[in-house]
Amino acid sequence: MAARMLLSRVEHHALFPRMMATKADFEKAKSQLLRLTKEPTNEEKLKIYALFKQSTEGRCTIPKPSAFNFVNKVKWEAWNQLGDLTQDDAQEQYIKMVDKLSATEAETVLSPDSHVVQETDYETLVLTKQNNMTTIRLNRPSRKNAINLQMYHDIIRALGEAKEDDSILVVFTGTGDYYSSGNDLENFNIQLDQMETVAQESSLLLKKFVATFIDFPKPLIGMINGPAVGISVTILGLFDLVYAVDSATFHTPFTKLGQSPEGCSSYTFPKIMGIPKGSELLLFNKKISAREAYNLNLVTEVFPTNTFEHEAWHRLQKYATLPNKALHLSRQLIRQLERETLHKTNEAECQLLKELWLSPDCASAIATFFQHKTRKM
């Protein structure tokens, strides 16, 4: 009896990790499915739907839709055909099917004809070159892609490389759920006797960073995959297109932190949105949704979460086939009249920020932030 009880406990502990792993794999497969850029066939969609329903609800028990309700009737039939297939087995088949679709897509993307080059010697970015596009992916997901000093240097370097390569478009996006949480405020966690030196160096770095965007000769595209904060928002005024997932938000909490606008937003935001709306964002820390950003002309188009990756990237792939010279020269024609104004704006913004970083207001606001952060830990 004791031996049977011991065996039972051993079997339980042996099976329990498998159940946890299967659940985790199922959640991962659901996320993988949303990231597919190649749309599954109708037959594959029906199979995925049926397996998902069987995995989450079990056997089909709902009434069969009428013959006139064609779409739901076909979906019902696909689910009903699974009969008494267990939820665990349905999950396993669902995972295998999504893995197969992902693998097939990866083989297509990474085929020799697509000319993929992925740069791995960046500490904070993933740089990918494929099909006339250079993609710069902010890659600090554990910090919500907060921009630390290294990321500033990495982005400047990546744009320098993209300027010289044969890409037609340059795309910015983020890894994980965030596009970017803005400036990593750990950048401000410094000793008082170093403040003046750090403020001067940071001002020069910021000026160089923004100037790199101002002078960049190729079309810049933002693929905003989640919340964006601070400079990751303000710099969008220098982009040519900004696509956003519908769950994205945009927040510029400068005055709350005793700071002022940067990224030329003191010029671009009032021009894009009008003075009252631009001021509401830059002066009064208003957070806006993707749809509100679209209405304010900061975002070009908003896409549903489940189609964002497929639709937006598919469109960019078409743009990347446009004649290189005509596209780049036309872009420079549109931008050239404002370049001098943008550089002057950048200079003034960085000078004001340097003054504010050394002010008691900014020091107090940053100290309050760190105190609040410590209390939450």
Strand 241-245 with 228-229, pairing = unpaired
Tens of pLDDT, residue by residue over 331-340, are 999 999 999 9
Neighbours of 164 (CB within 10 A): 7
Map out the domains of the chain with their CATH numbers.
Answer: 21-109 (1.20.80.10), 114-376 (3.90.226.10)
Determine contact, residues 223/172, Cβ cutoff 8 Å: yes
Q: What is the pLDDT of residues 23-39, one digit of tens each?
A: 778 888 887 787 666 67
Q: What is the pLDDT of residue 116?
A: 67
According to DSSP, the β-strands at 249-251 and 301-303 are unpaired
Cβ-based neighbours of 182, under 8 Å, separated by 6 or more: 146, 147, 228, 229, 230, 231, 232, 233, 251
The model carries a pTM of 0.69
**Burial class for 229, CB neighbours closer than 10 Å (0-12, 13-18, 19+):** buried
CA angle 271-273-277, nearest 5°? Answer: 120
Average pLDDT over residues 50-65: 92
d(CA 297, CA 300): 7
Tens of pLDDT, residues 84-131: 999 989 888 998 888 888 766 544 443 334 456 776 689 999 999 988
Distance CA 200, CA 202 (A): 6
Instruction: For residue 263, give the nearest of 363, 172, 358 by alpha carbon.
Output: 172
Give the residue with greater pLDDT, 102 vs 279.
279
In this predicted structure, the answer to whether residue 5 has a pLDDT above a threshold of 80 is no
Q: Could you give the CA distance from residue 280 to residue 270 in angstroms, rounded to a whole number?
A: 10
Contact 29, 302 (CB under 8 A): no
346: β partners: none
Residue 141 Cα distances to 39, 71, 116, 125, angstroms:
27, 39, 23, 10
Q: What's the pLDDT score for residue 27?
A: 84
